[in-house]
Structure 1
């Protein structure tokens, strides 16, 4: 069984439950304990250590493929196996003889097929998406698999028949990130840009077991993804132990490249619940360590090209994360004032998202200036650099995230990140910022009503009916991404069985991780275009522009990489005028909220020119009558109670 989703309670508590290397009942995939190397201390004046310069060699990739193929042969399950580096470059795709050609996405619980439900994709696309997910969700402080992803994106957390009534997963909606239409995600390219990341994923992030990160000396260097069973789904019940062929084959590929035991998901607790890493166990695998590439290709299968992702007939070496070639590198002093900062680069030395002024002065009067953009990002980075991480090990590690700043048109005014933040947060932080800016904008309804899809347009009257306000989505409410998420859940309030869906969601009978509501409806055409490109039915790929809402400038709409619906972004106001938004992603959602909200509040105190939304228009000022004398309100942000390392400060967002 397979699936993904869930939300945290008001105060998220992480407990040190320790990662066992033993039985699969703990989700540990035991067998070979892999110690976590002690990282070197950060250079003088810095608080973070950058990951060591590790990468996958050609021989490493060949070994991973050979081990996975050996397990597939032992299990009688010929598979498609993909290997990527940490920034999403596809290094090899192996199709074993007899492997299924396609994977099918399950339909909704009522048998309907909306958005991506019911679609059939090439198996290679599924394998690549799983490998990218394992690489992108992981870091030196946490190792997450696609089974972990499945657990944190579903309508209840933890997902199981007995947990109905609990809130949704903390990363609800993250599967619709790293999209093939994203303007941030890089595409396969020649020359200096060949290896820059983060690369896009053909199916976004995956919740289908069979994807794992790959490590060398405690450093995440890539991911492996496997497709063998013809199904691309999720695990709807984490309380049992599955026997999943994709997962066994993928785990076998990681032998010798295992995630350190101490950082595996099964040693990380959210709200008292241990996450899952794998239902397979190293001890139950075939003896794959002696497998060689020479006896795998062509005896068991061959490398195959994948349009738009992998065009060579040979195994490639991975990029060294942190190098110019990888597209993610340490910032220069001219690019950002904090020496810990990393930025996105174009492979030739230029920052892809340098500090810049807002492009929207014609609409907002006084756009965000370069100085204001710099101060906002600096202050958010400073909050992160003191904050206690929610998902990283060891406990009391500092949070590591990506921070994105946009104007009201969704134009990036700067993107900055810590050295070892998970890669998935780059695209997601920009999605979050754009989402908060878009739905807080006076033109949100007009733009949605101009979308060519009747399905997309239908969410406007649904929202107006829900708010009992014919002028809803016209800038009268400041929507944080947490508030947007409240409206995008299949139950409102979140998790309460028997309640109707929020106005931006599908009803529960038609909902699934592949059909979330407005989020998925906006990009359905893009996904269909990309599927035709992948299969050769069309020579034209989807544009690097998600959704078909109207452009606000040539080649630019407000949701260029899609809508995101879990917490970590707030809009920015100059007085009562919306001027942009800040988005954060990479650690726990409450941490993301705090870094965005408190960073902006601190910038406001320093600048005196702009800041958080006025209290009167924030989404949490909006209440809803639930009947029987009950009311509820939207949430705006939730900050951890005592969030800073080395400090006993509490309620740090109170009164701001």
Structure 2
């Protein structure tokens, strides 16, 4: 009895300690650095003073770390076009979502790592490590997207009774996504990431993305779309998939706005090496245009003044209070439960096998988090830091036109926010391509996102110029609401608004699109596909090793793994781990 009492006491004390820790963590979250309306005003004013000299057509957007738009300023005056809003917000959001307290990435950084060659412009090299990431965090996403500070949950009806994602609480902004054009840089306060600033206007000329709606085109509820282009108006003013080297006026204006809110120089992207290649952060600063000399002597010209006005739909506001995500510990790693851990809401067995339970989902997350704890980061500074990641699990709906339900999303530490949507994309991509025999193998092969991406490049096998395209090439853009001949050429925005929640107008199976880089692996029970794990937050090899660790009790049978098959005489990959990954 004494032993039992002692055990009960220790258990009670442990639970109390966990509750105290959770409370303290929530207090810390509510006290974290955030942008105030005064901060946003100061940032925009600094950017405008630069813009009136070098880029008077600028439209400037500021977002917070969670992707809420805190203001859009039109330097020339009047309202901004929907395409300008989408472009400026996408650039700002990209810088905020790709950065953390340990790495500061810009939209230029994003553009460098998504090209068909890495390093950019070097022939016969494989694509960038995050090729295709520009088609994530889409405005159509049911997981996370850039949004207005109205906190209205967008009505993305789930296919099953899963709770809606807090990342969608706010009116979405049409045709936003991650962006690889220069002009987006992150914002920091006291060493903490608080958001990003994005600029579009007089930057390096490049083709816009026209909007070609699929008829019929009915009006939208304003709670869904904060801005929406009409036929004949550009969806984006710049192509976000084209890499631009050298200085850029948009980036100049953004950097001016960043003054006083800049990251430490020790964590900017140009301190990060991926595969031995230094990443870019910002191009050379363009000197202000000198004033014209007057023939007659007189007083000096007045200094530039703030001109323009806020866009009517996006007045300057403070960042909203942080959402109270539950605090938890998995695998010895503290973090946030971004989407609740639940059992598969579908009850019918899959080929006689039971579906995933909440306890099993928690176990999968725990195994993955254990690996996060001991894995060296590829992008975080200083070198030798622990990686951070989003760990997500999705179900297998075992039916067409039904989206895999998110059974749990855990954010370790302060993992990058773009990774939330991408991690779910990876899980859903693995389920989708595993469920279908698109390659004609005669059976459903266990397809990781590394395998899918290998088959989705401009050249197959990747890295050999002149080869024909892979069988999945251009599928990602077709499943995202953007359609293009190639990821780095002309795009159009083809959006069918007539069939919500089919926001892309393509497939209900993939409500937030797909991804084509590593970190997603299918989960099996006794040879039957029951779901998938998706990991995002660091280098792709780091994501892969964490995902593989999560499959500990749900491994795919060896004979049906993608790496047991060849396509066009080339063996497919399944997973790949970093060399010497452990801290």
What SS does structure 2 have at the residue aligned with 1:391? coil
Q: How far apart are residue 547 of structure 1 and its match?
A: 4.1
Question: Does the CA contact (< 8 Å) of 1:181 and 1:543 recur in 2?
Answer: no
Distance 1:614 1:375 in 2: 20
Aligned to 1:568: 519
Cα deviation digits, residues 343-370 of structure 1 (max 9, x gap): 22xxxxxxx4333235263434311112
1:315-464 paired onto structure 2 within 5 Å: 315-319=316-320, 325-327=321-323, 329-332=325-328, 340-344=334-338, 352-357=339-344, 359=346, 361-365=348-352, 366-409=354-397, 410-441=404-435, 444=436, 463-464=439-440
Distance 2:282 2:445 in 1: 42
Cα deviation digits, residues 172-203 of structure 1 (max 9, x gap): 11111111111112654746869954676632
Gaps of 5+ in 2: 1-20, 155-164, 207-237, 291-303, 398-403, 485-491
What SS does structure 2 have at the residue aligned with 1:374? helix
Aligned to 1:39: none
Aligned to 1:598: 549
1:82-481 paired onto structure 2 within 5 Å: 82-97=61-76, 122-160=83-121, 163-185=122-144, 187-188=147-148, 190=150, 197=167, 202-229=175-202, 231=206, 232-233=238-239, 242-281=246-285, 284=287, 296=306, 300-306=307-313, 310=314, 314-319=315-320, 325-327=321-323, 329-332=325-328, 340-344=334-338, 352-357=339-344, 359=346, 361-365=348-352, 366-409=354-397, 410-441=404-435, 444=436, 463-464=439-440, 469=441, 471=442, 476-481=444-449
Distance 1:433 1:128 in 2: 27
Distance 1:142 1:204 in 2: 20
Distance 1:123 1:132 in 2: 14
Give the paired residue count: 486
The partner residue of 1:523 within 463, 469, 480 is 480
Distance 1:326 1:531 in 2: 33
Question: Does the CA contact (< 8 Å) of 2:78 and 2:308 recur in 1?
Answer: no
Question: Does the CA contact (< 8 Å) of 2:53 and 2:288 recur in 1?
Answer: no
Asked if residue 73 in structure 1 is aligned to residue 52 in structure 2, the reply is yes
Relative to structure 1, the CA distance from residue 624 to residue 50 in structure 2 (aligned partners, 3 Å threshold; closer, same or farther) is farther
Q: How far apart are residue 623 of structure 1 and its match?
A: 1.6
Question: Does the CA contact (< 8 Å) of 1:210 and 1:225 recur in 2?
Answer: yes
Gaps of 5+ in 1: 1-42, 103-120, 288-293, 320-324, 345-351, 446-459, 506-516, 551-556, 605-610, 626-630, 646-656
Relative to structure 1, the CA distance from residue 281 to residue 583 in structure 2 (aligned partners, 3 Å threshold; closer, same or farther) is same
Q: How far apart are residue 407 of structure 1 and its match?
A: 0.7
Question: Does the CA contact (< 8 Å) of 2:332 and 2:373 recur in 1?
Answer: no
Distance 1:542 1:355 in 2: 28
Cα deviation digits, residues 608-631 of structure 1 (max 9, x gap): xxx121111111111234xxxxx4
Distance 1:55 1:376 in 2: 33
What SS does structure 2 have at the residue aligned with 1:400? coil
What SS does structure 2 have at the residue aligned with 1:523? coil
Question: Does the CA contact (< 8 Å) of 2:247 and 2:285 recur in 1?
Answer: no
Relative to structure 1, the CA distance from residue 165 to residue 263 in structure 2 (aligned partners, 3 Å threshold; closer, same or farther) is same
What SS does structure 2 have at the residue aligned with 1:279? coil
